Structure 1
Amino acid sequence: MLHLRLITPAERTDEVVRLIETTVGTTHLVVLPGAARDPAGDVVLCDVAREAGDELIAGLRRLGLDDTGSIAVETIDLSLSRRAEEAEDEAPGEGADAVLWEGLTEATHEESTLSVTYAAFITLATMIAACGVVLDNAILIVGAMAVGPEFGPLAGICTALVRRRPRLARRSLTALLVGFALAMAVTVGFTLFMDAIGLFHRADLEGERPNTAFVYAPDAFSLIVAVLAGIAGTLSLTSAKSGALVGVAISVTTVPAAANAAVALAYGDTSQTSGSTAQLLLNLLGIILAGTLTLLAQKYFWASRRRRPR
């Protein structure tokens, strides 16, 4: 279930209440006349089944409530109510399959911002991965994958393509490209510094690396894994099962490939630089393609599910 807290101008309250009452899957409607002060108006509270949430939120936006008042949405972890159970039964489909498009757009917008924190995380992840490729240490590679925040902009690009939001697409693409460029540039300097103090050696990079050689040798499995991870990551976002994102993060080699390219560039190894860059681009392409197709499939599935008679 979702809990909605609405601030509505007094003259629009009746329309808002009517919309809530006619939306299948709503319950626990409360109206507090004149309770809001900033902006001034009435406060309307209600609960709605997740599978009916997107329809209700879209209707509220059509009434202009996001401009004249406020729409706040929270997830209810526990609701002990027979009426809530009835509302979920009345709503079409299953809550786990429902996509809250406005929530997805907002979440990916926040995760795809080129902020100092985002730049710090992707840079640190790339530097950790650089240590992993030089030491041929798979644990460091996995750790770097988990730290990397690049799935946020990738999900933002997928969402922007499906929702036709060019501003979100530009924001996400900027965060992705600038973030990786900055991280790789810093990692080149980090590599030269570590080499100068005798902790990195070119021989380690070019020697036998059974645990990490895959990051500069793309093959068919690189694309397959990226596609599967893109599907899993998108489903975890749309179904609010964020725990799955950790598994997605450590299944694709975006950050390790960027790190290997940066280290190889610092040592002038063009073969590994080009191979790692190809691995990076292949993973990014696979995730974006899979994520976009997954969202389109969910959009079609949910639209067709809602057209069926209950």
Structure 2
Amino acid sequence: MLHLRVICPPERTGAVRDVLLTEPGVTHITVQPGTAVQPPGDLIEADVTREAADQLLAALRHLDVPRCGGITLETIDTTLSDAADAAEQAVPGDPADAVIWEELITRTGEEARLTVTFQVFLAIACVLAAIGAITDSPVTVVGAMVLGPEFGALAAVAVGLVLRRGDLIRRGGVALAVGFPTAMIITALATVAFDATGLLPAAALDQMDQVRFIYSVGPFSFIIALLAGAAGMLALTSARSAILVGVFISVTTVPAAAFTSVALVEQRFDDAWQAALQLVVNILGIVVAAVVVLMVSPRARAWRGSGKWFVTG
């Protein structure tokens, strides 16, 4: 279940309370008049099932609570309550399958920001993948896959396309368009340094039997990307974030970008083209699959209000 905290002016407390009471998926409702200091107002708390959260948030937005107060939603790890069990049973569906669109928008929006941390992680992942390719070490390449932060940006683009949120598309697109080229330039410089210090023998790239999948584009490349994109978006929408690790290992976005830089420095242009194609195929496959998953997810309608898109369940 989820814990809901609402701060609102006293004149809206009755309406908020009525919304909570009429929702069968809400329980443990408490009202503390005059408790909130900044912003001033009443504090209302309740526990909400995941299946009811999206519709409830839409109703609170309709009351204009975010503008005059605030809404906070947190995950509850453990709940021992017959009332909570009854609330879970009163709402159709399974909590793991519920999509909380506001949560998804916030999460993907944050993870798609082009920050220094995002760029550093992506650059380290690419250099690590380059070393894995040079040393023919699949373990190192897999480590680079897990380290790469690019799925958040790809997910933001997918969410933006489905909800027609240009801000999410731009944020994710900028993170990818700037992040990958910058990481590839850093990887190219690292490759030059490896050449200069003798860490990259001339024949090293001829002995990549274990990691040849990085630049070997085939019919399964797009299929794997589709499956990974679908699994990744399902993990984001169903609160099964642990599955994302498997998604990162499945796709070769970071290794393909890294090897493109290595191959260009070593003037292996055919290999560089294949690796670049692998990168594009993976990115397109992930986004396409994520969009399809979101389009078939439970959602009734989207409407535009206060300059943003909101969704009801």
**TM bucket by the smaller chain?**
over 0.9
Q: What letter corresponds to residue 235 of structure 2 in structure 1?
A: S
Structure 1 residue aligned with 2:11: 11
Q: What letter corresponds to residue 41 of structure 1 in structure 2?
A: G
Structure 2 residue aligned with 1:281: 280
Tell me, what secondary structure is at the counterpart of 1:230?
A: helix
Rounded to whole Å, the distance in 1 between the matches of 2:209 and 2:16 is: 62
Structure 1 residue aligned with 2:239: 240
Deviation at 1:40, TM superposition (A): 0.3
Rounded to whole Å, the distance in 2 between the matches of 1:63 and 1:301 is: 19
Deviation at 1:162, TM superposition (A): 1.3
Rounded to whole Å, the distance in 2 between the matches of 1:135 and 1:230 is: 29
Deviation at 1:301, TM superposition (A): 9.3
Deviation at 1:209, TM superposition (A): 1.6
Tell me, what secondary structure is at the counterpart of 1:74?
A: strand
Q: Does the CA contact (< 8 Å) of 1:218 and 1:279 recur in 2?
A: yes
Tell me, what secondary structure is at the counterpart of 2:217?
A: coil
Change (3 A) 1:58 1:282: same
Tell me, what secondary structure is at the counterpart of 1:44?
A: strand
Structure 1 residue aligned with 2:214: 215
Rounded to whole Å, the distance in 2 between the matches of 1:102 and 1:75 is: 14
Query: Does residue 271 in structure 1 map to residue 277 in structure 2?
Result: no
Deviation at 1:150, TM superposition (A): 0.6
Rounded to whole Å, the distance in 1 between the matches of 2:91 and 2:298 is: 17
Rounded to whole Å, the distance in 2 between the matches of 1:28 and 1:300 is: 26
Tell me, what secondary structure is at the counterpart of 1:7?
A: strand
Structure 1 residue aligned with 2:307: none
The equivalences for 1:80-95 within 5 A come to: 80-95=80-95
Deviation at 1:164, TM superposition (A): 1.4
What percent of counterpart residues are identical?
46
By percentage of residues, which structure has more helix? Answer: 1
Deviation at 1:208, TM superposition (A): 3.2
Tell me, what secondary structure is at the counterpart of 2:66?
A: helix
Counting matched residue pairs gives 304
Structure 2 residue aligned with 1:251: 250
Structure 2 residue aligned with 1:103: 103
Rounded to whole Å, the distance in 2 between the matches of 1:141 and 1:265 is: 19
Rounded to whole Å, the distance in 2 between the matches of 1:7 and 1:32 is: 10
Q: What letter corresponds to residue 244 of structure 1 in structure 2?
A: I
Deviation at 1:216, TM superposition (A): 1.2
Deviation at 1:169, TM superposition (A): 0.7
Deviation at 1:299, TM superposition (A): 3.0
Structure 1 residue aligned with 2:176: 176
The equivalences for 1:107-186 within 5 A come to: 107-186=107-186
Q: What letter corresponds to residue 100 of structure 1 in structure 2?
A: I
Residue segments in structure 2 that go unaligned for 5+ positions in a row: 303-311
Deviation at 1:201, TM superposition (A): 2.5
Tell me, what secondary structure is at the counterpart of 1:202?
A: coil
Deviation at 1:176, TM superposition (A): 1.1
Structure 1 residue aligned with 2:306: none
Q: TM-score normalized by structure 1?
A: 0.95
Tell me, what secondary structure is at the counterpart of 1:217?
A: coil
Tell me, what secondary structure is at the counterpart of 1:106?
A: helix
Tell me, what secondary structure is at the counterpart of 2:31?
A: strand
Rounded to whole Å, the distance in 2 between the matches of 1:165 and 1:301 is: 17
Moved more, 54-63 or 278-287: 54-63
Rounded to whole Å, the distance in 2 between the matches of 1:275 and 1:38 is: 56
Q: What letter corresponds to residue 285 of structure 2 in structure 1?
A: G
Q: Does the CA contact (< 8 Å) of 1:3 and 1:76 recur in 2?
A: yes
Structure 1 residue aligned with 2:74: 74
Deviation at 1:202, TM superposition (A): 3.4
Residue segments in structure 1 that go unaligned for 5+ positions in a row: none
